Chain A
Amino acid sequence: METRVRKVNQHVLRDWLMSYLFLLPAFGFFLIFVAYPMLKGIYISFFNYSLRKFEFTGLDNYISLFHNETFLKSLWNTSLLVIITVPVVIVFSIFVAMNIYKKKEFARSFFRGVFYLPAVSSVVSITVVWGWIYHPNYGILNYITGLFGADPISWLGNTKTALLSIIAVLITTSVGQPIILYVASLGNIPTSYIEAAQIDRASSWQIFRKIIWPMLMPTNLYIIVITTINTFQCFALIQLLTSGGPFYSTTTVMYGVYEQAFKLGNFGMASAMGIVLAVVIGIISTIQFKYLGSDVEY
């Protein structure tokens, strides 16, 4: 009896050890390329770290950040970007997915391809094209609005339109993955549920609200969290289209991190900005998990 228990324990131990050994490579990469830079970033944020100096300054970087008008403006712009982009991406993606998931295979693939194309294309190439579209003198957008008698607008040079123009581009590059996931998710909802509701004379809205939406909750949670995080980290579009202008109206926290670190060489300040952004993203993601995750059943 004793021998059998010992044999079982050895077996369990070996399986346990093997499992962790298989995890080790991925865990090692995680430690080196994610955990270590993160911890180092927190550490650096307490230092005046420039090209020449590395002096401990405590919370000075954080204090000066919250007295810095440009940083506060960038926090506001980033929040605005998230508040507008995330709901639009969700609504638009569900709308497209609802309209294409029942279509024939070819049509479904075609639309999935069309909407996913910006997600797999180079952000730089897309942004360059959008830069031409928005060009104040020779852009196609001004040409089209001109056909209706409108005066040319400096889309990226006007404080009222610059952020909205960026949001429009951001939406086109963000809807690809949600549409694919929603189409897959919708395909997994048993048709018997919907048919039963139709027999009971439920309206389309009732079917969506009471059956489809709850069944989409796991996908919703993932898409909302990921889109929120990606939008918070929006950088390339800003850098290439507006460089944060005009007069800081499109500057975001990530652009500020880039400017402080790579243009001015203030790595401590840049790290502090990154940590503030990470904390904000962490808080919002936790809230999202708390309120949206409670309905999720896997």
Chain B
Amino acid sequence: MRTFKKGIMSLLGITLISTQLAACGSTAETPKSSEAGKETTPSNTAKPVEITWWNFPSFQALDGEVGKYEKQVIAAFNQKNPDIKVNLEMLTFEAGPEKLNVAIASNTAPDVIYDAPGRILDWGKKDLLAPLNDMITDEVKNDVSPALMKQSMVGDQVYMYPINTAPFMLGVNKTVFEKIGALNLLPLDRPDRTWSFDEYKKALQAVKEKAPDVIPSGFFAKSQAGDQGTRAYISNLGNASFFTDDYSKVAINTDKAGAALDWIVQGVKDKLVVGGSESLTGGDVNDLFLQGKLAISLNYSPVLRAQNVTLKKAEFEDILLPFPTIDGAKPRLEPYLGGMAVFNNGDDAKIAASKKLIDFIANDPEWGKKNLIQTGGLSARNSITGLYNDPEYTYAEKAREFYTNPPTVADGYAEIRTYWFPELQRALIGKATGKEALDSFAEKANEAITKAKAEAKK
């Protein structure tokens, strides 16, 4: 009996040790992510394929259930492609980027993703994605504006299939202006709605004087989230591009842009701009707007407007306006672009299946249009218009003519973003003038560009 017990205990011990060693061993032998793209396994596409689709909330939630719409898309896709099983995983905008970084570094990236160029182009530059050139026919290429095409490519390789777009603009609480009898101060009588910095100041002053419970305008610098809003705001108020045309260095550090930032800092003191903006996020400012406490929000787009319909805490009409410029010149609007990319996980069959899913989502005769409307955005294709029966969308389509070179394609963009908001904070807390803060940002950002270019050449 004793011998039997001893035998059992020994067996148990050996099993435990071996399972633990096996666990360690398998981890150690996992190939490095850098090698992932090089090994491809040819396989028969007729075989059933299983792919994983990670999706941010790019589509509006159906019946308030996140992922419900995506499941319907997959079901419709499976009717036409029964051999492809799609596993859906929904990401959040807050935790998704980190989850993706860890997944890529640990060689467990998804097969296909719906995202924006900021991350996708970075992955493209790191050879983590499968090129989609075979999907972009001349017909597609000629139908997408160059600014959007630029956001989908690294060199001559297309890494993102552009699907929906929208210009980032100001969100304006029209009801507040109606109530104070100052609707005439907004440029709504002009077809392109362009306006000057002075006209903008007058509108803010009117809100301050006649609607004391409403904060005239927003600003935020707590974190990098929503930084396209602050970038475009200063860029337009100072009539300056964010980068040079060739993206070799930062161009926002001009005297005029510095003066625009100084005006914002002074605006906080004069109660024309929300107080404590150095500790507010873009989300906080949009919340104030949705609560009816803020007249003008600077991080808005038709997509956000559509998503915010159910989130409004006060009844008001929100409209879209372009950013004002010093002399009312053409504004520079950063394009939001949503699209899909395929990770090169070393399996041709999965890459082919992922491309089929992208094609279905973007171009299916029935679901293509449906999907676009569900994003709340405009089509990336110039030929597809009139999706919505809403004057704000009609205007948003027109405002696409103001699309500027997107900063997201710059080398080292991920690092550059981390230097932007701290410098805005430095100006807002009075530790630097606007120009000093922008110069300091430019110095760090230019270093990041040089470093990223050098890394890319290695």
Q: Across the interface, do A247 and B425 meet the contact criterion of CB distance under 8 Å?
A: yes
**Would you call B6 and A25 a contact (CB within 8 A)?**
no
Cα–Cα distance between A73 and B280 once the two chains are bound (Å):
22
B-chain residues with CB within 8 Å of residue A17 when the two chains form the complex: 9
- Give every chain B residue within 8 A of A52 (Cβ-Cβ): 33-34, 126-128
B127 closest partner in A (C-beta): A52
Q: Please name all residues of chain B whose beta carbon is closer than 8 Å to the beta carbon of A265 when the two chains form the complex.
A: 101, 104-105, 414
With a 10 A CB-CB cut-off, give which of A156, A157, A263, A267 has the most chain B CB atoms. A157
Q: Which of B32, B102, B429 touches A246 (beta carbons < 8 Å)?
A: B429
In the complex, the chain A residue whose C-beta lies closest to that of B417 is A263
What residues on A are CB-neighbors of B45 within 8 Å? none
- The answer to whether A293 has its CB under 8 Å from any CB of chain B is no
Does B365 touch A at the CB level, under 8 Å? no
Bound Cα distance from A261 to B100, whole angstroms: 12
Closest chain A residue to B23, Cβ basis? A32
Number of A-B residue pairs at CB separation under 8 A? 118
Tell me how far the C-beta of A162 lies from the nearest C-beta in chain B, rounded to whole angstroms: 8
- Residue B17 interfacial (CB < 8 Å): yes
Does the CB pair B415–A264 fall under 8 Å? Answer: yes
Does B274 belong to the interface (CB within 8 Å)? yes
Which of B134-142, B173-181, B215-223, B374-382 sits within the interface?
A: B215-223
Assuming the A-B contacts A32-B23, A36-B24, are A136 and B276 also in contact, with contact meaning beta carbons closer than 8 angstroms in the complex?
yes
B242: Cβ under 8 A from any A Cβ: no
Q: Which residues of B contact A21 (CB under 8 A)?
A: 9, 12-13
> Judging by beta carbons under 8 Å apart, are B425 and A246 in contact?
yes
Are B422 and A245 closer than 8 Å at their CB atoms? yes
Asked whether A137 is an interface residue with its Cβ less than 8 Å from the other chain, the reply is yes
Q: A156–B215 contact, CB under 8 A?
A: no
Contacts A245-B222, A247-B431; is A152 near B23 (CB within 8 Å)?
A: no
| B-contacting residues, A197-244, CB 8 Å | 242-244
Contact B101 A261 (CB under 8 A): yes
Kindly identify which residue among A49, A137, A157 contacts B429, using a CB–CB cutoff of 8 Å.
A157
CA distance A245 to B222 in the complex (A): 7
- Give 1 or 0 for each of A179-193: 1 = CB within 8 Å of chain B CB: 000000000000000
Q: CB of A4 within 8 A of chain B?
A: no
Check: B278 CB closer than 8 A to any chain A CB. Answer: yes
The answer, yes or no, to whether A143 is at the interface (CB within 8 Å) is no
A158 in contact with B429 (CB, 8 Å): yes
Q: Which of B24, B221, B421 contacts A32 (CB 8 A)?
A: B24
For window 397-442 of B, CB contacts with A under 8 Å fall at 414-415, 418, 421-423, 425-426, 428-429, 431
A28 at the interface (CB under 8 A from B): yes
From residue B154, how far is it (CB to closest CB) to chain A in Å? 13
- Bound complex: CA of A247 vs CA of B24, how far in Å? 42
A53: CB under 8 A from chain B? Answer: yes
Are A157 and B414 in contact, CB atoms less than 8 angstroms apart? no
Q: Which of B17, B102, B429 contacts A262 (CB 8 A)?
A: B102
A283 sits at the interface (CB 8 A): no
CB pair B279 A157 closer than 8 Å: yes
Residues of A near B280 (CB, < 8 A) are 136, 157
Bitwise, A142-166 to B at CB < 8 A (1) or not (0) is 0000000000101111110010000
B12-50: which residues lie under 8 A (CB-CB) from chain A?
12-13, 16-17, 20, 23-24, 32-34
Q: How far apart are the CA atoms of A27 and B20 in the complex, in Å?
A: 10
Question: Would you call A246 and B279 a contact (CB within 8 A)?
Answer: yes
A52-B33, A264-B415 as given contacts; A245 in contact with B276, CB under 8 Å: no
CB distance from B14 to the nearest CB of A (A): 10
Q: Are A157 and B20 in contact (CB under 8 A)?
A: no
Q: Are A262 and B101 in contact (CB under 8 A)?
A: yes
Interface residues on B, range: 35 or more
Q: How large is the interface on A (under 10, 10 to 19, 20 to 34, 35 or more residues)?
A: 35 or more
B167 within 8 A of A: no
Once the chains are docked, how many angstroms separate the CA of A21 from the CA of B15? Answer: 11
Check A264 against B34 for contact (C-beta < 8 Å): no
Query: A14-B6, A259-B418 are known contacts. Are A247 and B20 too (CB-CB below 8 A)?
Result: no
Q: Give every chain B residue within 8 A of A264 (Cβ-Cβ).
A: 414-415, 418
In whole angstroms, what is the CA distance A188 to B258 when docked?
66
User: CA separation between A36 and B27, bound complex, in Å?
Assistant: 11
Query: Is the CB of A95 closer than 8 A to any CB of chain B?
Result: no
- With A and B bound together, what is the CA distance between A245 and B429 in angstroms? 11
B412 to chain A, nearest CB (A): 10
Determine if A246 and B278 form an interchain contact, defined as CB atoms under 8 angstroms apart: yes
Beta-carbon contact of B429 and A263 below 8 Å? no
A111 interface contact, C-beta 8 A? no
The answer to whether B386 has its CB under 8 Å from any CB of chain A is: no
CA–CA, A137 and B271, complex, Å = 11
CB distance from A273 to the nearest CB of B (A): 15
Give Cα A140–Cα B2 distance, bound, in whole angstroms. 71
When the two chains form their complex, are residues B101 and A245 in contact, meaning their CB atoms are under 8 A apart? no
A92 within 8 A of B: no
Minimum distance in angstroms from A156 CB to a CB of chain B: 4
Contact of A154 among B9, B279, B426 (CB under 8 A): B279
- CB neighbours (8 Å) of A154 from chain B are 275-276, 278-279
* B56 in the interface (beta carbon within 8 A): no
For residue B323, give the distance in angstroms from its CB to the closest CB of chain A: 23
Other A-B contacts than A52-B34, A136-B275, A264-B418, 14 sampled, CB-CB below 8 A, are A21-B13, A28-B17, A50-B126, A52-B128, A53-B34, A54-B32, A156-B276, A157-B280, A245-B279, A245-B421, A245-B422, A247-B425, A262-B102, A265-B414
Please list the residues of chain B having a beta carbon within 8 angstroms of any beta carbon in chain A: 6, 9, 12-13, 16-17, 20, 23-24, 32-34, 97-98, 101-102, 104-105, 123, 126-128, 215, 221-223, 274-280, 288, 414-415, 418, 421-423, 425-426, 428-429, 431
| 8 nearest A-B residue pairs (beta carbon) | A136-B276, A157-B279, A154-B276, A262-B98, A157-B278, A246-B425, A52-B126, A243-B223
17 contacts between A and B (CB under 8 A): A24-B13, A36-B24, A50-B126, A53-B34, A137-B275, A152-B275, A154-B276, A157-B222, A157-B428, A158-B429, A245-B422, A246-B221, A246-B428, A247-B422, A259-B418, A262-B97, A264-B415
